[in-house]
A and B are shown apart, each in its own frame.
Chain A
């Protein structure tokens, strides 16, 4: 474990006053597109092997090994598409936006490398609709890339011309789910698809498609230049490489910070964020779907094993949200549950009805009409939304279920103190207002 210094953020200095947008020539002047040149001189199979050996795991939240995902594309089926998941809608996550605000070409170089390695015909960058400014600068960067022969040319050794297009989303969290993204790309409502068939076999427009997160692709140039061993020298055995950590909430210096995988959350907060504003009580490690870390879990290591070790769903996007001891956790849980109820696509029964029910229950509890049995009921509803994995079509319900579960398990007193017995509901609550 050793972190040599900024890899992904190397063009974004700590001092905000010195930050600027790196256009094509600035990018090239700082070593940009060297990796692409080097990659195009390698056989594509070697690139895939290199990425597998490096241990790069998806940075979008699921942590699936990137190189292995690439091998799922059936040989000889063309055309193939690459969908870049820039639909960063998970609350607490803003690392992709931060990276591309200043250094969009690092993403484009990663796309070009992935496209060459997998003989991709078209790469669609799916950017969320709320990122208006980001869409503009990315569009300009893409035009620069076309003008300089990065896109719009055949992959060496083939007649497959590689194009890269920006596709703007329109405000739906579920379009960050890989098959929801594909449906939205095809111009329909973003309802996730059932699997099988898997996107690698039949994805966008029924053709083989790989979906990768922005940060995952941004790691590719440095892997090509420095090799697998260098990448693995950072992080832990199961979680290799550098990671962009987001920190927000009750910290003195919220922002995006880069370090290797596996650092302690306390290190992130103390070393980079100037400490907690007030006294630490709880934190969410990586986007609200992951659940919450308790007061005694301040030193949790932020890597892909965090789920197993600390009873959360996983590392997710590593967007840490810190809460101090003045926080009303019941209100925060209601905020999270309202998010899921609002963003649920509505396709499957447990998620559609369960998230709304949880929201109504929590609103009633906050309004003062909670009963002691509501504690067990909340837990049971959350658990029955995800009786095992696979109960729903996508993982949104799992995220809601872990959030509620971990809040109730790690902070039971916060909830129980709100549930008085003998309270009768005298007021008709429009408890679903605001969803």
Chain B
């Protein structure tokens, strides 16, 4: 790819017209999180957790608005945001299925789970189903090794996965999740 020239001088493509950092999010962070730390920058992780919960991904505008709010440069915001797995820069499906691929889960057969998902939904890790319902990712150890193989579906942990039963459970998930994310 060494021949690709990325032009950083032109502005980013806007994704929506209203701000991501709404007045209510600002108020929530100002009241709950700013008093906890000596510096505003420390509220970066809590702020972006709220953003992920609300919007499911981090848009360039979100980082742009957060930079002024936290008092740091835009590049510093993106620096911190791109370091962490959980903060995705592109939208994903309604249900994000994070299948653990670390050693205990591989010992206990996570590949069978992924294969079943591939068979039933036709997606590989990193891909989303055509109807936008399910995205599958592989992640590192989820800290539930006694229930290996396991997966996080949005915020819920599913352990002791049996490939067929799990695929069936995913198929039966409602089109819209119960509340929020």
Which A residues have a C-beta under 8 Å from some C-beta of B?
A: 88-94, 97-98, 122, 128-133, 163, 165, 167-173, 184-190, 205, 246-250, 254-256, 284, 288, 319, 321, 323, 327, 331-332, 335-336, 339, 342-343, 345, 434
The CA of A356 and the CA of B142, in the complex, are separated in Å by 22
Contact A172 B143 (CB under 8 A): no
> Taking chain B's interface residues, is the majority helix, strand, or loop, or is none over half, making it mixed?
mixed
Q: List 5 A-B contacts (CB under 8 A).
A: A89-B140, A94-B143, A94-B146, A132-B152, A248-B107
Contact B157 A92 (CB under 8 A): no
Q: Give chain B nearest CB distance to A76 CB in angstroms.
A: 19
15 more contacts with CB within 8 A, not counting A187-B70, A321-B104, are A89-B140, A91-B145, A98-B146, A133-B156, A133-B157, A167-B46, A168-B46, A185-B42, A186-B37, A187-B44, A205-B42, A246-B146, A250-B107, A254-B147, A284-B103
Contact B45 A132 (CB under 8 A): no
Q: How large is the interface on B (under 10, 10 to 19, 20 to 34, 35 or more residues)?
A: 35 or more
Which of B4-12, B18-26, B83-91, B169-177 lies at the binding interface?
Answer: B83-91
The CA of A128 and the CA of B142, in the complex, are separated in Å by 9
Taking a contact as CB atoms closer than 8 A, the residue among A169, A170, A248 that contacts B146 in the complex is A248
Contact A93 B143 (CB under 8 A): yes
Contact A132 B41 (CB under 8 A): no
Taking a contact as CB atoms closer than 8 A, the residue among B42, B70, B145 that contacts A248 in the complex is B145
B139 at the A/B interface (Cβ < 8 Å)?
Answer: yes
Number of A-B contacts (CB under 8 A): 151
Contact A167 B102 (CB under 8 A): no
Contact A323 B145 (CB under 8 A): no
Residues of chain B lying within 8 A (CB to CB) of residue A343: 140
Contact A89 B143 (CB under 8 A): yes
Contact B86 A170 (CB under 8 A): yes
Interface hub of A184, A249, A327, A434 (most chain B Cβ within 10 A): A249
Residues of chain B lying within 8 A (CB to CB) of residue A323: 107
Contact A205 B38 (CB under 8 A): yes
Contact B36 A189 (CB under 8 A): no
Q: Give chain B nearest CB distance to A153 CB in angstroms.
A: 17
B167 at the A/B interface (Cβ < 8 Å)?
Answer: no
Ranked nearest first, the 6 interchain pairs of A and B with the lowest CB-CB distance are A171-B85, A170-B84, A187-B44, A248-B145, A132-B155, A189-B83
